Amino acid sequence: MKSKKELVILATCLFVIAIIVASSTVYLVRKSNLDTDSYLKKAQVAMSGKKYENAILYYDQAIIYNKENSDLYNSKGQALSKLERYDEAIECFDKASEVNTKDYKGYEFKGQALIKLYKQEDAIESFDKAIALNSRDNLSYTYKGIALYDLKRFDEAIICFDEAIKISAKDSEAYNGKGRSLKELSKYEDSLTCLDEAIKISEKPEYYCNKAETLFAMGKYVEAKDCLEKAIGIDSKYAEAYSDEGVISTKLKKFDEALLNLNKAIDMDSKNYILYFNRSQCFLYMEKIEDSKKDLTKCLELNPNFKEAQIELNQLNQYK
């Protein structure tokens, strides 16, 4: 049996060991946090410089030190999305939702990536999960509206855009989406009102192009071209503005001018399926059937779900 003195010495030793272990643990936690912050700052600098590959590497390093941080997975996913590596991005967003079941952002970002993959139904499901976690998330309503617009469910899309606007009156994307949807429902004046509001909040070339498309549908070609010139004035490399100018020139049977703009648009953005569809229509007016079919085929290669192009191509294939 140990003496009282020995027991005191043993207790003292155990206490000292406990202090050392606790101190080491605190040091490791602090070092882990410092390492995470260091790599996170480097990743953020890389993202701002559009060096997305570097950002991904830094996020990976940060995750090594903090595997339970959902923000890191979401940020890595966004970097992957910038590189159009959407499947990998979705894996990151899923991991964010796994490590933090209350993280609505993971579902929101996943929905955006699914839209890029033309998986609109899956995107809507993801946005619904985000909204269930945070009913004040205006962006999930906005992007859900975009997915519904893509599915031509315009009335439902408008409901989502209205919800987004209720939450944030400065959500220019919601006004823009609502304006586009109203245009598809032939409610042109209401469409222009919404698009003007979007432009008032933020002068983006996309909004001017969408306003031009509404004006074009109303037969106001001069006003439409003025809007497109404003879009190009904001961003001289905005491909859809040149494409829309090509559409107007096609309508006016100025085919040489139309092809000049349509070719320029495709040179700027060769992965945009709608640009090939627009040029196919110009070729069709010019009775260049084979050229039209080539563009429709390319359009469907980029977006297999684009029904208008499939219908058009099927009709052209009937002619020998």
Which tens digits make up the pLDDT trace of 160-176?
A: 999 999 999 999 999 99
Q: Which residues contact 74 (CB under 8 A, 6 or more apart)?
A: 92, 93, 96, 103, 105, 106, 109
The answer to the question of residue 147 being in a domain is no
The answer to the question of residue 298 being in a domain is yes
How many independent structural domains does the chain possess?
1
- Indicate which CATH number applies to the domain containing 305: 1.25.40.10
The answer to the question of residue 243 being in a domain is yes
Looking at residues 21-41, what average pLDDT do you find?
Answer: 57
pLDDT score of 1 more than 70 = no
Q: CA-CA distance, 38 to 43, in Å (whole number)?
A: 9
pLDDT score of 25 more than 60 = no
The answer to the question of residue 131 being in a domain is no
Domain that includes residue 267, residue range: 211-320
Q: Which residues contact 262 (CB under 8 A, 6 or more apart)?
A: 242, 243, 246, 275, 278, 279, 282
The answer to the question of residue 104 being in a domain is no
**pLDDT value of position 302:** 94
Q: What is the mean pLDDT of the chain?
A: 91
Any idea which residue has 């509206």 for tokens? Answer: 145
Within 151-288, residue ranges assigned H as helices are: 154-167, 172-184, 188-201, 205-217, 221-234, 239-251, 255-268, 273-285
The answer to the question of residue 265 being in a domain is yes
**pLDDT value of position 16:** 44
Burial status of residue 113 (CB atoms within 10 A of its CB: 0-12, 13-18, 19 or more)? buried
Q: CA-CA distance, 147 to 180, in Å (whole number)?
A: 13
What are the two backbone dihedrals, phi and then psi, of residue 237, each rounded to the nearest 5 degrees? -110, 20
**pLDDT value of position 318:** 85
Tell whether the torsion through CA atoms of 155, 281, 120 and 206 is positive or negative: negative
Report the percent of the chain where pLDDT is more than 90.
Answer: 85
Which one has a higher pLDDT value, 262 or 320? 262
Q: CA-CA distance, 170 to 173, in Å (whole number)?
A: 9
The answer to the question of residue 251 being in a domain is yes
The answer to the question of residue 136 being in a domain is no
